[in-house]
Amino acid sequence: MVAEQFTAAAAQIEPVYHGKDATLEKTCQWIEKAGNQDVDVVVFPETFFPGYPYWRGSSVARWTELMVDLQKNSLSVEDDALEVLGEVIDEANCHVVLGTNERSERPGSETLYNSLFYFDRSGELVRRHRKLMPTHGERTIWGRGDPSTLDTHDTDIGRMGGLICYENHMTLPKGALAAMGEEIHPAVWPGFWEQHGHPGDKSKATDRSAIETCDQYPAMREYAFETQSFVISSSAYMSDDMLERVMDDVDFNIAAGGSMLINPAGIVKAGPAIGEETLLTAEFDRDERRATKAYFDSVGHYTRWDAVNLNIRDTELAPFESEQPDETPPTPSPATIEEIATEHDLPIDTIESIVDSLHSA
């Protein structure tokens, strides 16, 4: 049975930048903290593991060095680190959504993806989502995610979906998750910002006044109301000290935090938390969702599927397909069937039955 109340948390903490082992240790520590506070689900920011590539605009030579380092310090679904995380999560008894740079497990590939890893209370990795469309300069870092990873899964606190950064602005994927029955929406971001006229002109937020221009603030509130879901928006925070090793290469840094917890009516129950490490928490009640849906149900009484319909392609992308030879036996002509029947002194309908059996085998 799905719980009527649950506690959600956004783990707004800084990673040990490009440090796989140290980031793993810190992740485990904060999962333990979440467990000690009886949190039911905790969400870590976009590419928390092992940090967002704020150096993406560096020179080609330096970019290559940093990409190799990022590959070495990223996670894959086959990584031993997931076993370590699983044990800690099992002990903490909470669902964990981890933003990570993901290294492809496809043989021969070293491609990275901007991903969410979903762990259940037992610590099992139950699902992943790969960002469908990296934003702007991110396309030099990450590959495009499979359509098959746009999905939801059931938990004991509700059906969980999730999107990454500007995916939360993409109308059709939002509609897809709503149609899949999403109830809890982890949303992850690389920080919080002031926007100066257009999305390409941002600066790191210094206080809550950034909500006046940061597109993330209205987007998360609208997502909650539009889909009647509980939104756990987890945004990256990194101090200048943490970025010191690559500071000469950083030309874009908005890691101010900005995490929020929002109910299905679009009401911000906690945050945005700016400029600090914190485990931001809030209590949610399913009646908050019911009350909103009584008024506006986007996949029920307040929709018109006959007027607007959405097609979802959930196939997995693959670099090749094996072509199987056509082993279907040829169909003999009536004249050939007659010749065979005469040669073997058999009725024509017997030969026709044999041919039918061969084709249906």
Q: Are residues 204 and 336 in the same domain?
A: no
Considering its fold, how many domains does the chain have in total? 2
Query: Sign of torsion, CA 32 37 43 48?
Result: negative
**pLDDT value at residue 326:** 65
Domain assignment present for residue 308? The answer is no
Give me the CATH number covering residue 154: 3.60.110.10
pLDDT tens, residue by residue, 289-339: 999 999 999 999 999 988 988 988 877 777 666 666 666 777 888 888 888
Task: Say if residue 102 is in the same domain as residue 198.
Answer: yes
Find the DSSP H helices in the chain.
20-36, 60-73, 81-92, 171-179, 216-227, 286-295, 334-343, 348-360
| pLDDT value of position 358 | 79
For residue 105, is it within any domain?
yes
Distance CA 106, CA 126 (A): 18
**Residue 168: inside a domain:** yes
From the list 20, 26, 46, 167, the catalytic residue is: 46
Q: Tell me, what's the pLDDT at 11?
A: 99
Query: What is residue 260's DSSP assignment?
Result: E
Residue 325 pLDDT: 66
Is the residue at 309 inside a domain? no
Q: How many CB atoms lie within 10 A of CB 121?
A: 18
* Candidates 14, 20, 94, 131; catalytic one: 131
Q: Are residues 352 and 262 in the same domain?
A: no
- In the DSSP assignment, the letter for residue 43 is E
CA distance 121 to 98: 13
Q: Is 165 a catalytic residue?
A: yes
Cα angle 261, 176, 236; round to 5: 35
Q: Note the pTM of the prediction, 2 decimals.
A: 0.87
| Inside any domain, residue 87 | yes
Give yes or no: residues 274 and 347 share one domain.
no
- Domain-terminating residue out of 247, 270, 295: 295
Peptide bond into 272 cis (omega under 30): yes
Question: How is residue 82 written in tokens?
Answer: 């997931």
Based on the domain organization, do 176 and 272 belong to the same domain?
yes
Task: Please indicate, yes or no, whether residues 238 and 348 belong to a single structural domain of this protein.
Answer: no
Residues of the chain with pLDDT under 70: 319-327, 361
> Is 301 contained in some domain?
no
What 3-state class would DSSP assign to 17? Answer: coil
Query: Rounded distance, CA 247 to CA 45, Å?
Result: 21
Question: Is 131 a residue of the active site?
Answer: yes
Query: Within a domain: residue 318?
Result: no
Residues 83 and 18 placed together within one structural domain of the fold: yes
Instruction: Supply the range of the domain harboring residue 345.
Output: 328-361
Please identify which of the residues 14, 20, 138, 165 carries the catalytic annotation.
Answer: 165
202 flagged as catalytic:
no
The tens digit of pLDDT for each residue in 120-146 reads: 999 999 999 999 999 998 999 999 999
